[in-house]
Amino acid sequence: MLANLIGYLGDFELAEEAAQEAFAIAAERWPRDGTPANPRAWLVTTARNRAVDRIRRDRTLAAKTRLLDVPETVEDEIEETTIPDERLELIFTCCHPALALDAQVALTLRTLGGLRTDEIARAFLVEEATMAKRLVRAKGKIGAAGIPFRVPPAHLLPDRLAAVLAVVYLIFNEGYGGRGELAAEAIRLGRALTELMPDEPEARGLLALMLVNDARREARFADGTLVLLRDQDRSLWDHDQIADGRAELDRALALGGRGPYALQAALASLHAEEPQDWPQIAALYGELARLTGSPIADLNRAVAVAETGEAEAALALVERLELDRYHYLHATRAELLRRLDRVEDAHAAYGRALKLVRSEAERRFLEQRRAELRD
């Protein structure tokens, strides 16, 4: 509903206010007069009319006259099917690269996820006032700078789709660190994207990736401490969800998907198998590193190489990486050094990882591993 209003009105603030007004009117009238046949259509029409009234009243907004050309609609007459689904236009607007990434994330959660400002603020550990300011600034820029409300044309689409997927995946990863409600929200957004763009393999790849990873959520933490994949209680995995994820992955691959999300989904799927095919996993991480240039993919390749029994080779890979600020690099080094019986070096590497780690569950895990070195 909000997507449609923003598309129609071309103004985020006005659309939000109009939607609130329409809900308030519904709350008053529906119990008295009965619920209309098409509640959504009724709400959209009512909100549109209220917004147009407001513009008519407020002549300082006369610049937005394109709205005034629209003939008056009569409430209740509009058919559900005549209201286009404009969520896709909306997400491309929210994830426009002219907005700062944190603003893209906040705006997407606010307008598409329907989260309240205080909920988004809490999820990203910032003050509500800070988040409110960020949202107001972003919405203001969309209007003032002329960020278009549309699905980008073909020549811009690959880059812009990548930006949208990155925002959804970022939301998922914030949730994956422990705040589950964000992960669920990201999956909802990911599913909406596959419905809106059924032929985009990377959208399906991302959904598959999130479904498979999220299916292991219950097993990833025990008493607030991170549990490594190989130590996870598989009975806690959501096997139906893993199957859903694999079905999405198959669709992505059938559409020719060989992009970073399809690859990561394939990796997540391989990780969920028992026993794991480590040479295959190492090869796919190599492919991912080649595709994205990401040193994190190289780091994961090193872990897979270690699992094939080549700890020495894995350590050599890790030591070539420039990821000094990344706690997983040091945690991985520590694990490899431990396997090679270099206890002192492992101890120091755990210490370095502990200095950088942010999540409390991961901190406890690393402290536990470091303490075990002395046994």
Partner 1 sequence: MKYMLLIHQGDTPTPRDPEAWSRLSEDEQKEVYGAYQAINETPGVSSGVQMQPPETATTVRVQDGKTLTTDGPFVAIKEALGGYLFFEADDLDAAIELAARIPAARMGGAIEVRPIGER
Q: Name the minimum Å distance from CB 146 to partner 1.
A: 4
Q: Which is nearer to partner 1, 160 or 191 (CB)?
A: 160
Specify whether the CB–CB gap between 186 and 175 falls below 8 A: yes
Of 146, 325, 341, 358, the residue at the interface with partner 1 (CB under 8 A) is 146
Q: Which is nearer to partner 1, 63 or 74 (CB)?
A: 63
Q: Binding of partner 1 at residue 68 (CB under 8 A)?
A: no
Q: Which is nearer to partner 1, 152 or 177 (CB)?
A: 152
Judged by CB under 8 A, the stretch of 146-154, 219-227, 316-324, 347-355 that binds partner 1 is 146-154
DSSP secondary structure string, 179-202? Answer: -HHHHHHHHHHHHHHHHHSTT-HH
Q: Name the minimum Å distance from CB 152 to partner 1.
A: 7
Residues 6+ apart with CB under 8 A from 295: 289, 321, 322, 323
Q: Which is nearer to partner 1, 27 or 63 (CB)?
A: 63
Q: Compute how many residues bind partner 1; rule: CB under 8 A.
A: 10
- Mark residues 82-121: x for contact with partner 1 by CB under 8 A, - for none: --------------x-x-----------------------
Judged by CB under 8 A, the stretch of 112-120, 129-137, 139-147, 166-174 that binds partner 1 is 139-147
Judged by CB under 8 A, the stretch of 66-74, 131-139, 141-149, 237-245 that binds partner 1 is 141-149
The DSSP symbol for 277 reads -
Specify whether the CB–CB gap between 333 and 315 falls below 8 A: yes
- In which residue are the tokens 């008053």 written? 28
Q: Cα–Cα distance between 251 and 206 in angstroms, integer?
A: 12
Of 66, 144, 325, 358, the residue at the interface with partner 1 (CB under 8 A) is 144
Q: Name the minimum Å distance from CB 147 to partner 1.
A: 5
Q: Name the minimum Å distance from CB 89 to partner 1.
A: 12
Judged by CB under 8 A, the stretch of 15-23, 148-156, 275-283, 298-306 that binds partner 1 is 148-156
CB atoms within 10 A of CB 201: 20
Q: Which is nearer to partner 1, 36 or 152 (CB)?
A: 152
- Of 324, 327, 326, 340, the C-alpha closest to 373 is 340
CB atoms within 10 A of CB 138: 22
Specify whether the CB–CB gap between 205 and 262 falls below 8 A: yes
Q: Binding of partner 1 at residue 125 (CB under 8 A)?
A: no
Of 32, 59, 63, 355, the residue at the interface with partner 1 (CB under 8 A) is 63
Tokens of 287: 């492919």
Specify whether the CB–CB gap between 78 and 38 falls below 8 A: yes
Q: Which is nearer to partner 1, 146 or 293 (CB)?
A: 146
Of 37, 100, 145, 283, the residue at the interface with partner 1 (CB under 8 A) is 145
- Mark residues 23-62: x for contact with partner 1 by CB under 8 A, - for none: ----------------------------------------
Q: Which is nearer to partner 1, 140 or 309 (CB)?
A: 140
Q: Binding of partner 1 at residue 158 (CB under 8 A)?
A: no
Tokens of 286: 């190599």
Burial class (CB in 10 A: 0-12, 13-18, 19+), 157: middle
Q: Binding of partner 1 at residue 147 (CB under 8 A)?
A: yes
- Of 330, 90, 362, the C-alpha closest to 228 is 362
Q: Name the minimum Å distance from CB 351 to partner 1.
A: 41
Q: Where are the alpha helices (DSSP H) in the chain?
A: 2-9, 12-33, 39-57, 87-94, 101-111, 117-123, 128-145, 157-176, 180-196, 201-215, 217-220, 239-254, 260-271, 278-292, 295-307, 311-319, 327-339, 343-356, 360-372
Q: Binding of partner 1 at residue 156 (CB under 8 A)?
A: yes
- In which residue are the tokens 């059924």 written? 198
Q: Binding of partner 1 at residue 152 (CB under 8 A)?
A: yes
Site residues (vs partner 1, CB under 8 A): 63, 96, 98, 144-148, 152, 156
